Amino acid sequence: MRRPNCCHTCLAFILKFLNLFQLFVGISIISYSVYILNQWNKHLPDSSDSPWFIFAFMGLGIVLCCISCTGHIAAEAINGCCLCFYGLLKTVFILLEVAFVLFIALDRQWEMDLPSDPTGEIDKFRVFIESNFDFCKWIGITVVVIQVVCLMLAVVLRATVSSQIKDDQTDIEKDGAVRGKAWEPLLNPRANQTSVSVSGDGKAFRSDIWSSRMREKYGLSSSNVK
């Protein structure tokens, strides 16, 4: 197997860097979810209501961290199977994000499905987004673009690795064929090498091409051999 070339190394480095950024985003989401959950438990310690939106937000951060770690490992190993698996996970995750954005855009009453928040953290978060809408919009677009770029890098790196594997297999086959030809004279003697046969009266004579030419040159024949 050949060593990764400069192109593979460069693509893998960019993919690892972008996955580290997404890992940081995932850890931030998990940290914020833990903070909101802690505030919820302080205000409603004995409440039976489940803050499903907090756990959903936390689950989003965990999934993002897991996918980012998978992508970092795949880029570090430059392995075709790992890159293919990472590309599949990233594709599913992007499709889920698109479906979530479409759901929010089409359903104007999605906030009605959220349970009441006694902590007020969700209201604070919504006010922050509304007051910094342009900034948050560009942050969201940047995260989505980074995910799409990661998917494209994984596909390109996977294709180049597959091409390299095919080239290596071709080189191995050619090398094996050359070695086979090199060993052929030892395994199968050539036709012009000397071979000995035995005549009917028990006398041995040379039957190769060289001996035939020598008999023709000196006017000898097999009948003259005694």
Tell me the pLDDT tens digit for each residue of 36-75: 888 888 877 666 567 778 888 899 999 999 999 999 998 8
Q: In whole angstroms, what is the distance from residue 151 CA to residue 15 CA?
A: 9
209 or 6, higher pLDDT: 6
Predicted model pTM = 0.66
Give the largest Cα separation in the chain, rounded: 121
Q: Given this model, what pLDDT does residue 114 score?
A: 66
Confidence of residue 202 (pLDDT cuts 50, 70, 90): very low
- The per-residue pLDDT for 121 is 74
How far apart, in whole angstroms, are the C-alpha atoms of residue 49 and residue 46?
Answer: 9
Q: Taking CA 61 as the corner, what is the angle to CA 104 and CA 132, rounded to the nearest 5 degrees?
A: 55
Q: pLDDT tens digits, residue range 159-194? A: 887 765 555 555 555 555 555 555 555 555 544 444
pLDDT of res. 39: 83
Q: What is the pLDDT of residues 74-121, one digit of tens each?
A: 888 888 888 899 999 999 999 988 888 787 777 666 667 666 667 777
Instruction: Give 214 or 71, the one with higher predicted confidence.
Output: 71
Higher pLDDT, 42 or 226: 42
Give the CA distances from residue 24 to residues 17, 28, 200, 205, in Å, rounded to whole numbers and listed in that order: 11, 6, 92, 87
User: What's the rounded Cα separation, in Å, for the pair 173 and 161?
Assistant: 18
Q: Locate tokens 């770690």: which residue?
A: 69
Say whether pLDDT at 1 is over 50. no
Long-range Cβ pairs for the range 39-44 (8 Å, 24+): 39/119, 39/121, 40/117, 40/118, 40/119, 42/119, 43/118, 43/119, 44/118
Does the pLDDT of residue 223 top 60, yes or no? no
Per-residue pLDDT at 20 exceeds 80: yes
Q: Is it the case that residue 152 has pLDDT exceeding 80? A: yes
Alpha-carbon radius of gyration of the chain: 37
pLDDT of residue 123: 76
